[in-house]
C-alpha cells in the first residue's frame, strides 16, 4: 500500500509548490513521475521546471526528450513510470490505477476550485477505502498544515 498525501493548494499554484516537493524527492535519492492532465500542461510544466529557481536544478524528461531510464523526474500524461520512480505526483486531477506500485503519492489540487476540491475528496475516500495510508495537507500562512 502507498502513502498518499493530498495537498490542498490555497496560497500557491501547482507550478510553485511542485518544484519544492520534487527537490525534496531528489534529496532523498528517489525518482519521481509526474502525471499531468494534458499535453499542454505537460509542456508548460516542462518549461517551468527548467526555469524554476528553488530548487535551481530539477533534471527531468518527457517522451519528447526520451531516455526515461536516465531521468530522475519523468513528466507524462500516461499512467506509467518508465524511469523506475517510487514517488508519484498527480496534478490537474490526474489519477493512477497503479497507486500500490509507489511508496509515496502526492495528489496536488487547487483549493480555490470547488470542482477540484470535490474530486480530491472523492479520490481521498477511495484511497482510504482501498487501504492506503492517507494524509491531508492544507496550506496556511506559515506553510503546510496536516489536517488528517
Q: What is the pLDDT of residue 1?
A: 85
pLDDT at 29: 97
Q: Which residues of 34-73 are buried (b: 16+ CB within 10 A; e: fewer)?
A: bbbeeeebbeebbebbeebeeeeebebbbeeeeebeebbb
The pLDDT of residue 143 is: 84
Question: What was the pLDDT predicted at 54?
Answer: 87
Whole-prediction pTM: 0.95
The pLDDT of 106-126, averaged and rounded, is 95
> Which residues span the domain enclosing 108?
3-146
Residue 142 reports pLDDT greater than 90: no
User: Which CATH number do you get for residue 53?
Assistant: 3.40.50.10110
Instruction: Please tell me the total count of domains within the chain.
Output: 1
Distance CA 144, CA 136 (A): 10
Task: Give tens-digit pLDDT for 84-107.
Answer: 999 999 999 999 999 999 999 999
Q: What is the CA radius of gyration of the chain?
A: 14
Amino acid at each position: 500500500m502507498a502513502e498518499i498525501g493530498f495537498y490542498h493548494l490555497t496560497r500557491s499554484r501547482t507550478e510553485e509548490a511542485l518544484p519544492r516537493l520534487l527537490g525534496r524527492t531528489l534529496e532523498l535519492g528517489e525518482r519521481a513521475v509526474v502525471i499531468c492532465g494534458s499535453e499542454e500542461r505537460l509542456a508548460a510544466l516542462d518549461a517551468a521546471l527548467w526555469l524554476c529557481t528553488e530548487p535551481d536544478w530539477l533534471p527531468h524528461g518527457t517522451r519528447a526528450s526520451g531516455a526515461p531510464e536516465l531521468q530522475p523526474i519523468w513528466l507524462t500524461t500516461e499512467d506509467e513510470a518508465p524511469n523506475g520512480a517510487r514517488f508519484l505526483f498527480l496534478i490537474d486531477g490526474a489519477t493512477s490505477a497503479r497507486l500500490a506500485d509507489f511508496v509515496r503519492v502526492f495528489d496536488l489540487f487547487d483549493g480555490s476550485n470547488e470542482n477540484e476540491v470535490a474530486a480530491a475528496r472523492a479520490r481521498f475516500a477511495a484511497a482510504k477505502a482501498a487501504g492506503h495510508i492517507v494524509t491531508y495537507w492544507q496550506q496556511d500562512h506559515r506553510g503546510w498544515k496536516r489536517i488528517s
